[in-house]
């Protein structure tokens, strides 16, 4: 039987065409499936994007309701959902405490844009609950702060209704400053003491700038500190001064090594405490802090007056190197200017009685306190 070459070639050709057709059909099928998968993936991504956007929109709305401004909201949202949830919780607490969440968020965010959540929390926690009339707006209580005890001679409770409470921004500054004061009072030599003092000075300078603008723009000077915040500052400065004078403080800040021979140093410390707190209040002009400064100085002067008279009366019976009588004005002035008097010396001159402190009195500018003007008259 003869081989049909033409038929063979036709069969081969048909098979090749079929294979090519199947290959093309498979390519088309794969392409369709890939397009379908791509479409599904795009749809899934779009759904996820819409979901995230809805969450962002909801978070932005909640943050705005809590008082965050647009810049702060954008900064928070850029950090993701966790940061947003934290900011919302912090904002709710800030609202109940009457402080400004934007100010506190800015306090706690460094130049790299990283926010210290611990700093946010401790600052808000320090703020006192907002009061509506005589009712506290939240059951949360601020951390225990020093009251009128060994280290505190100030009593601001009588001024509770005399001075208005600080506005939200000022209250935020005040709360952060109180946090720093408490940390330094408890542990003055802590590793981050220098950083805390630097932050403290920056906050005070920023607050001064803000109060100056308020006085220029509105002609007002609203309060900046609460009673508790003033007490926190007073305790910080008092503890530091006592340590400078060699006093050892116990667990409850009581002086463990005070005796009749050095008690006057605690009075002299009061002059320094008043001057330091007065310096902090310069440009801020807070009435509560001014009252505290006046009370601290007055208490120091009263105690130094008793000390001076005691030294003088004792010297009249038995000589004392601490009691000095000057009769020549030039000698008196020369010994003062050349620091010849010792801390605790009691000097009588022209029927006046002075206690030499070597601590500059912020009211007089002198390193001694005039405790009597009419001796022997």
Asked whether residue 259 is domain-assigned, the answer is no
Query: Burial, 376: exposed, middle or buried (Cβ in 10 Å; 0-12, 13-18, 19+)?
Result: exposed
Q: Residues with Cβ < 8 Å from 250, sequence gap 6 or more?
A: 256
Neighbours of 259 (CB within 10 A): 7
Is the pLDDT assigned to residue 276 strictly greater than 90?
A: yes
Asked whether residue 164 is domain-assigned, the answer is no
Beta bridge partners of 355: 346, 369
Q: Tokens for 292, please give them.
A: 């505290």
* Residue 347 three-state SS: strand
Output the pLDDT for position 139. 34
Local confidence band at 11 (pLDDT 50, 70, 90 cut-offs): low
Of 51, 66, 96, the position where a domain reaches its end is 96
Q: What is the mean pLDDT of residues 143-166?
A: 57
Is the pLDDT assigned to residue 136 strictly greater than 80?
A: no
Asked whether residue 122 is domain-assigned, the answer is no
| More confidently predicted of 170 and 4 | 170
Output the pLDDT for position 25. 72
Rounded Cα distance, 181 and 236, in Å: 5
Asked whether residue 27 is domain-assigned, the answer is yes
Q: Are the C-beta atoms of residues 144 and 195 closer than 8 Å to each other?
A: no
Output the pLDDT for position 4. 54
Local confidence band at 198 (pLDDT 50, 70, 90 cut-offs): very high
Is the pLDDT assigned to residue 333 strictly greater than 90?
A: yes
Output the pLDDT for position 129. 61
Helix (H) or strand (E) holding 147: none
| More confidently predicted of 213 and 318 | 213
Output the pLDDT for position 48. 67
Asked whether residue 146 is domain-assigned, the answer is no
**Segments forming the whole domain that contains residue 325:** 312-372
Local confidence band at 70 (pLDDT 50, 70, 90 cut-offs): confident
Asked whether residue 47 is domain-assigned, the answer is yes
Rounded Cα distance, 232 and 156, in Å: 13
Of 33, 63, 96, the position where a domain reaches its end is 96
Residue with tokens 């723009």: 217
Q: Tokens for 81, please give them.
A: 């959902």
Is the pLDDT assigned to residue 252 strictly greater than 70?
A: yes
Asked whether residue 325 is domain-assigned, the answer is yes
Of 62, 96, 130, the position where a domain reaches its end is 96
Beta bridge partners of 325: 348
pLDDT tens per residue across span 279-319 = 999 999 999 999 999 999 999 999 999 999 999 999 888 88
Local confidence band at 32 (pLDDT 50, 70, 90 cut-offs): confident
Output the pLDDT for position 186. 86
Local confidence band at 144 (pLDDT 50, 70, 90 cut-offs): very low
Local confidence band at 158 (pLDDT 50, 70, 90 cut-offs): low
| More confidently predicted of 350 and 24 | 350
Local confidence band at 101 (pLDDT 50, 70, 90 cut-offs): confident
Output the pLDDT for position 294. 93
Tally of residues, the chain: 377
Is the pLDDT assigned to residue 27 strictly greater than 90?
A: no
Q: Tokens for 212, please give them.
A: 């100056």
- % pLDDT > 70, the chain: 81
Please give the backbone phi and psi of residue 370, each rounded to the nearest 5 degrees, phi first: -85, 110
Rounded Cα distance, 358 and 147, in Å: 29
Output the pLDDT for position 298. 92
Rounded Cα distance, 71 and 223, in Å: 27
Lowest mean per-residue pLDDT among 105-109, 218-222, 327-331, 371-375: 105-109
Neighbours of 177 (CB within 10 A): 24
Local confidence band at 152 (pLDDT 50, 70, 90 cut-offs): low
Asked whether residue 332 is domain-assigned, the answer is yes
- % pLDDT > 90, the chain: 39
Local confidence band at 141 (pLDDT 50, 70, 90 cut-offs): very low
Is the pLDDT assigned to residue 182 strictly greater than 60?
A: yes
Q: Could you tell me the CATH number of the domain that includes residue 358?
A: 3.40.1620
Rounded Cα distance, 1 and 306, in Å: 146
Rounded Cα distance, 57 and 47, in Å: 15
Split into its structural domains, the chain has a count of: 2
């Amino acid at each position: 039987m003869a081989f049909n070459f033409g038929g063979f070639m036709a069969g081969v050709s048909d098979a090749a065409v079929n294979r090519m057709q199947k290959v093309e059909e498979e390519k088309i099928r794969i392409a369709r499936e890939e397009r379908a998968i791509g479409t599904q993936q795009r749809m899934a991504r779009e759904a996820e994007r819409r979901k995230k956007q809805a969450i962002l929109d909801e978070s932005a709305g909640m943050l705005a309701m809590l008082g965050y401004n647009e810049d702060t909201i954008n900064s928070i949202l850029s950090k993701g959902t966790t940061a947003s949830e934290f900011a919302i919780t912090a904002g709710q607490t800030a609202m109940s405490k009457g402080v400004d969440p934007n100010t506190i968020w800015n306090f706690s965010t460094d130049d790299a844009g990283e926010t210290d959540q611990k700093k946010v929390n401790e600052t808000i926690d320090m703020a006192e609950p907002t009061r509506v009339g005589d009712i506290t707006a939240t059951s949360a209580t601020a951390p225990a702060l020093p009251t009128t005890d060994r280290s505190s001679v100030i009593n601001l409770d009588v001024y509770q209704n005399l001075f208005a409470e600080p506005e939200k921004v000022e209250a935020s500054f005040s709360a952060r400053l109180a946090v720093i004061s408490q940390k330094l009072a408890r542990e003055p030599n802590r590793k981050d003491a220098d950083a805390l003092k630097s932050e403290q000075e920056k906050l005070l300078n920023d607050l001064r700038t803000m109060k100056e603008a308020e006085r220029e723009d509105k002609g007002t000077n609203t309060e900046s500190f609460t009673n508790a915040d003033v007490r926190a500052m007073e305790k910080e400065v008092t503890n530091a001064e006592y340590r400078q004078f060699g006093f050892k403080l116990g667990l409850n800040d009581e002086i463990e090594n005070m005796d009749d021979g050095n008690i006057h140093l605690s009075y002299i410390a009061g002059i320094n405490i008043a001057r330091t707190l007065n310096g902090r209040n310069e440009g801020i002009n807070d009435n509560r802090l001014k009252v505290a400064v006046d009370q601290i100085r007055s208490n120091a002067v009263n105690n130094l007056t008793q000390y001076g008279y005691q030294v003088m009366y004792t010297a009249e019976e038995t000589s004392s190197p601490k009691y000095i009588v000057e009769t020549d004005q030039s000698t008196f002035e020369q010994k003062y200017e050349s620091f010849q008097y010792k801390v605790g010396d009691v000097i009588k001159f022209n029927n006046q009685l002075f206690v030499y402190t070597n601590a500059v009195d912020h009211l007089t500018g002198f390193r001694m306190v005039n405790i009597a003007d009419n001796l022997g008259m």
